């Protein structure tokens, strides 16, 4: 049960969506519960779009917005049920949910199929998820189909069914791209907690430990600050594993002389953080490790300089690529001029991902990266990650002292009116800061 529910951000977002749907009807379900095995479920996680508009975290819930003159927000949710509450815990029930979360009406979820055709009558446009192929498809779409057909059967009684279907997620994506003050405050805290976890990892990691020992320290720090789950599967990658981009086994024993790349972020109050730091397990960078680290750091700082309102989203990826490519030449990893390396994309041997992504409720958050083929322009309130890296696998064309050096440095950055704010700034980052933290 939420201790005190701050409803105004959710009410405001519903108002903004009402303004977009005219006299249409919007129907937005939350996420289904997912079985893990036999009678055990995965820890429940609400749907981000539904939560964005409601602040309501219970499963088996649907939001309906009736636009136009009627302008009504209606929640369907689980009924109060003493027996189920003894087993599974508190649930609001429609009456309390309506009052506390500020809906105009609320009904038991069992009534949804029965009432939905009424909401669809004489509405030109239905705004619903086009979730085919995602976890939200399936049962919900079958319900919508059935209701639309039910209204089609009433034409002789003077009712028409919607004749146009619009993906409601697209409207909400645009809203989610610009974070409001309520979201920014939560993301700042999510960033702080993840930052504490990375600092703890630096302080505690030692040669001889297994990667999962470090994962445990991170989980400990997240949970003790109220961030119950990671925002994504952690990457705790030591030695050669640092060059496996999506490594998440966490089973290797760490050696003296290894680098440890940790990509870990928490979900706090529904919002993700996403930090990567790379540090020496024994607390001291070797010369080649430091050279690669400094090259990535230089690229990351160069990106920070162009993460500003008015710049194209894609600009910082180009800046990262150019900076890293020049460093690869300077370090003797690549031959040729900068122009050649960029043209022939030989840098892809060591830098093969993008420099970042939107982040918010989802770690790879909603929102278009291009509009009509053109890069989205950065605006205040957008939040991106800044995460260049270099991953040097053993190869005939690579000096041996660089083999298995993998470095990524990642922060979460809010675009502001006059520049940006690094939401994960408290995580040690310079060589001096990292080595000092490791030695504590």
Name the site residues for ligand GLY (rule: CB under 6 A). Answer: 232, 263, 274, 357, 363, 387, 410
Residue 145 CB neighbour total at 10 angstroms: 10
Give the nearer residue to ligand GLY in terms of CB position, either 291 or 410: 410
> Minimum Å distance from CB 363 to Mn ion?
6
Q: Which of Mn ion, ligand GLY, none does residue 232 bind to, with CB < 5 to 8 Å depending on kind?
A: ligand GLY
Rg (CA), the chain: 25
Give the nearer residue to ligand GLY in terms of CB position, either 161 or 382: 382
| Cα torsion through 247, 249, 254, 258, rounded to 10 | 0
Q: Which of ligand GLY, Mn ion, none does residue 424 bind to, with CB < 5 to 8 Å depending on kind?
A: none
Give the nearer residue to Mn ion in terms of CB position, either 386 or 437: 386
> Minimum Å distance from CB 361 to Mn ion?
14
267 part of the active site: no
Cβ-contact 183, 264 below 8 angstroms: no
232 part of the active site: no
Catalytic residue among 57, 71, 354, 364: 364
Give the nearer residue to ligand GLY in terms of CB position, either 192 or 410: 410
Catalytic residue among 46, 123, 176, 357: 357
- Burial of residue 278 (CB within 10 Å: 0-12, 13-18, 19+) is buried
> Minimum Å distance from CB 263 to Mn ion?
4
Extract the tokens encoding 357.
Answer: 């992504």
> Minimum Å distance from CB 169 to Mn ion?
21
Give the nearer residue to ligand GLY in terms of CB position, either 254 or 384: 384
Catalytic residue among 215, 217, 221, 263: 263
Nearest to 273 by CA among 333, 227, 323: 227
Catalytic residue among 36, 38, 246, 440: 246
Enclosing H/E stretch for 263 = strand 259-264
> Minimum Å distance from CB 223 to ligand GLY?
19
SS3 105: strand
256 part of the active site: no
Residue 70 CB neighbour total at 10 angstroms: 12
180 part of the active site: no
Cβ-contact 74, 105 below 8 angstroms: yes
Q: Which of Mn ion, ligand GLY, none does residue 192 bind to, with CB < 5 to 8 Å depending on kind?
A: none
Nearest to 251 by CA among 263, 259, 239, 243: 239
Residue 401 CB neighbour total at 10 angstroms: 13
Give the nearer residue to Mn ion in terms of CB position, either 47 or 274: 274
Catalytic residue among 39, 82, 400, 418: 39
418 part of the active site: no
Q: Which of ligand GLY, Mn ion, none does residue 75 bind to, with CB < 5 to 8 Å depending on kind?
A: none
How far apart CA 65 and CA 79 sit, in angstroms, is 20
173 part of the active site: no
Cβ-contact 179, 383 below 8 angstroms: yes
39 part of the active site: yes
Catalytic residue among 362, 410, 411, 412: 410
393 part of the active site: no
274 part of the active site: yes
401 part of the active site: no
Instruction: Please tell me the number of Cα atoms within 13 Å of 157 on its side-chain side.
Output: 10
408 part of the active site: yes
Phi, psi values for residue 190, rounded to 5°: -60, -40
Extract the tokens encoding 204.
Answer: 């505690």
Give the nearer residue to Mn ion in terms of CB position, either 363 or 392: 363
**Burial 149-162, CB ≥16 within 10 A → b, else e:** ebbeeeeeeebebb
> Minimum Å distance from CB 197 to ligand GLY?
14
Per CB under 5 A, residues contacting Mn ion are: 263, 274, 276, 385, 410
SS3 275: strand
> Minimum Å distance from CB 386 to ligand GLY?
10
Enclosing H/E stretch for 342 = helix 338-344
Cβ-contact 169, 373 below 8 angstroms: no
Kindly list the catalytic residues: 39, 246, 263, 274, 353, 357, 364, 387, 391, 408, 410
């Amino acid at each position: 049960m939420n201790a005190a529910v701050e409803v105004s951000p959710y009410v405001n977002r519903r108002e903004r969506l009402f303004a977009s749907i005219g006299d249409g009807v919007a129907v937005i379900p939350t996420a289904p519960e997912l079985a893990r095995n036999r009678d055990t479920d995965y820890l429940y996680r609400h749907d981000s779009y539904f939560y964005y508009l409601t602040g309501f975290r219970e499963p088996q819930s649907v939001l309906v917005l009736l636009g136009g003159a009627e302008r009504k927000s209606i929640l369907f949710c689980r009924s109060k049920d003493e027996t189920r509450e003894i087993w599974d815990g508190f649930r609001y029930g429609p009456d309390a949910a309506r009052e506390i979360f500020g809906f105009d009406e609320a009904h038991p979820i069992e009534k949804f199929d029965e009432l939905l055709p009424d909401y669809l009558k004489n509405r030109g446009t239905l705004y619903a998820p086009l979730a085919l192929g995602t976890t939200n498809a399936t049962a919900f779409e079958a319900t919508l189909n059935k209701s639309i057909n039910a209204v089609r059967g009433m034409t002789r009684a003077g009712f028409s069914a919607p004749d146009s279907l619009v993906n409601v997620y697209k409207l909400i994506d645009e809203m989610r791209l610009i974070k409001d003050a309520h979201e920014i405050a939560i993301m700042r805290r999510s960033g702080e907690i993840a930052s504490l976890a990375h600092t703890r990892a630096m302080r505690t990691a030692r040669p001889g430990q297994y990667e999962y020992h470090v994962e445990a320290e991170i989980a400990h720090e997240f949970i003790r600050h109220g961030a119950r789950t990671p925002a994504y599967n952690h990457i705790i990658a030591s030695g050669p594993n640092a060059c496996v981009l999506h490594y998440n086994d966490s089973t290797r024993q760490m050696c003296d002389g290894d680098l440890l790349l940790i990509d870990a972020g928490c979900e706090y109050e529904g919002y993700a953080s996403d930090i990567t730091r790379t540090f020496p397990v024994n607390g001291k960078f070797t010369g080649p490790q430091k050279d690669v680290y400094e090259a990535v750091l230089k690229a990351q700082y160069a990106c920070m300089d162009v993460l500003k309102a008015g710049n194209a989203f894609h600009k910082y990826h180009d800046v990262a690529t150019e900076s890293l490519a020049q460093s690869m030449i300077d370090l003797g990893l690549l031959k040729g001029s900068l122009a050649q390396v960029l043209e022939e994309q030989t840098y892809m041997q060591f830098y093969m991902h993008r420099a970042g992504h939107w982040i918010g409720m989802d770690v790879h958050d909603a929102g278009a990266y291009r509009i009509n083929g053109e890069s989205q322009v950065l605006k205040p309130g957008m939040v991106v990650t800044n995460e260049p890296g270099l991953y040097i696998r053993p190869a005939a064309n690579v000096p041996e002292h660089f083999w298995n050096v993998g470095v990524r440095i990642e922060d979460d950055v809010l675009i502001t009116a006059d520049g940006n704010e690094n939401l994960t700034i408290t995580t040690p980052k310079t060589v001096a800061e990292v080595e000092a933290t490791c030695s504590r």
